[in-house]
A and B are shown apart, each in its own frame.
Chain A
Amino acid sequence: MEYLSALLNGLSYGMLLFLLGAGLSLVFGVGRFVNLAHGGLYIIGGYVGFTVFDRLDNFWPGMIIGPLVGAGLGLAADLLVLRRLHGHGREPDQVLITFGLALIIADATRAGWGGDIRSVRAPAPFDRPLEVGEFIYPTYPLFIIGVGLLVLALLWLLLQRTRLGAMIRAAAGDPQMAQVLGIPTGPVLRLTFALGVALAALGGVVGLPRLALAPGRDFEMLLLALVVVVIGGLGRIEGAFWASLLVGLTDSYGKLFFPEFTVAMIFGLLALVLIWRPEGLLGRRAA
Chain B
Amino acid sequence: MLGNRVSRRDFLRFGAGLAVMGLAACQEGGQQPAASPTPVVTGPPLKVGIIEPNSGVFADLGRDQINGFNLYLEKVNFVAGGRRIQLVVEDETADPATALTKARKLIEADRVDMLAGVISSASALAMRDLVHQSRVFTVISNASANDITRARKSPYIFRVSNTNYQMAFPLGKWLIDNGHNRIVLMFADYAAGREVADALRQGFGSGEIVDTIPFPLGNTDFSSVIDRIRASRVNMVAGFAAGTDAVIFLRQFAQAGLAGRIQLALHDSVDRAELAAVGRDALGVYTSDFWAPTLDNPANRQFVDEYRRRYNEEPSRYAVAAYDAARLLVETINAVNGDTSDPDRLVRAAETIRFDSPRGLFEFDPTTHHVVQNIYLRQVREQGGRVTNVVVSDLGRIRDPG
Contact A262 B277 (CB under 8 A): no
Contact A116 B224 (CB under 8 A): no
* Residue of chain A at shortest CB distance from B215: A259
* Residue of chain A at shortest CB distance from B218: A220
Q: For the complex, is B394 an interface residue (Cβ under 8 Å from A)?
A: no
Give bound CA distance, A137 to B60, whole Å: 34
Select the stretch in B201-209, B227-235, B383-391 that faces chain A.
B227-235
Q: For the complex, is A98 an interface residue (Cβ under 8 Å from B)?
A: no
Q: For the complex, is B335 an interface residue (Cβ under 8 Å from A)?
A: no
Give bound CA distance, A236 to B248, whole Å: 32
Residues of A within 8 A of B256 (CB): 129, 136-138
Given the known interface contacts A100-B2, A115-B60, A212-B248, the answer about A1 and B227 at a Cβ–Cβ threshold of 8 Å is yes
* Residue of chain A at shortest CB distance from B255: A138
- Chain A residues 90-140 with CB under 8 Å of chain B are 99-100, 103, 107, 110, 114-119, 121-122, 127-129, 131, 136-140
- Chain A residues 1-54 with CB under 8 Å of chain B are 1-2, 5-6, 8-9, 13
* Residue of chain A at shortest CB distance from B57: A216
Select the stretch in A57-65, A67-75, A250-258 that faces chain B.
A250-258
Determine how close the nearest CB of chain B comes to the CB of A13; give it in whole angstroms.
6
Q: For the complex, is A166 an interface residue (Cβ under 8 Å from B)?
A: no
Q: For the complex, is B401 an interface residue (Cβ under 8 Å from A)?
A: no
Choose one: A2, A128, A140, A263; the contact of B228 (CB below 8 Å). Answer: A2
How many pairs, one residue from A and one from B, have CB atoms within 8 Å of each other in the complex?
117
Residues of B within 8 A of A263 (CB): 216
Choose one: A9, A117, A129, A141; the contact of B274 (CB below 8 Å). Answer: A117
Residues of A within 8 A of B221 (CB): 9, 13, 210, 251-252, 255
Given the known interface contacts A119-B251, A122-B255, A212-B244, the answer about A2 and B189 at a Cβ–Cβ threshold of 8 Å is no
**Candidate in A141, A211, A252, A262 with the most chain B CB atoms within 10 angstroms:** A211
Residues of A within 8 A of B255 (CB): 122, 127-129, 138-140, 209
Determine how close the nearest CB of chain B comes to the CB of A60; give it in whole angstroms.
17
Given the known interface contacts A138-B257, A252-B223, the answer about A209 and B251 at a Cβ–Cβ threshold of 8 Å is yes
* Residue of chain B at shortest CB distance from A141: B223
Q: For the complex, is B148 an interface residue (Cβ under 8 Å from A)?
A: no
Contact A214 B244 (CB under 8 A): yes
Residues of A within 8 A of B248 (CB): 119, 210-212
Residues of A within 8 A of B57 (CB): 214-216
Residues of B within 8 A of A220 (CB): 218
Give bound CA distance, A214 to B214, whole Å: 22
Determine how close the nearest CB of chain A comes to the CB of B195; give it in whole angstroms.
17
Choose one: A116, A138, A251; the contact of B252 (CB below 8 Å). Answer: A138
Q: Could you list 12 A-B pairs, sorted by A, with CB under 8 Å?
A: A2-B227, A2-B231, A5-B224, A116-B60, A116-B277, A210-B248, A215-B57, A217-B244, A220-B218, A255-B215, A259-B213, A259-B224
Q: Using a CB–CB distance below 8 Å, which chain B residues touch chain A?
A: 2-3, 6, 56-57, 59-60, 63, 189, 213-216, 218, 220-221, 223-225, 227-228, 230-231, 243-244, 247-248, 251-252, 254-257, 273-274, 276-279, 281
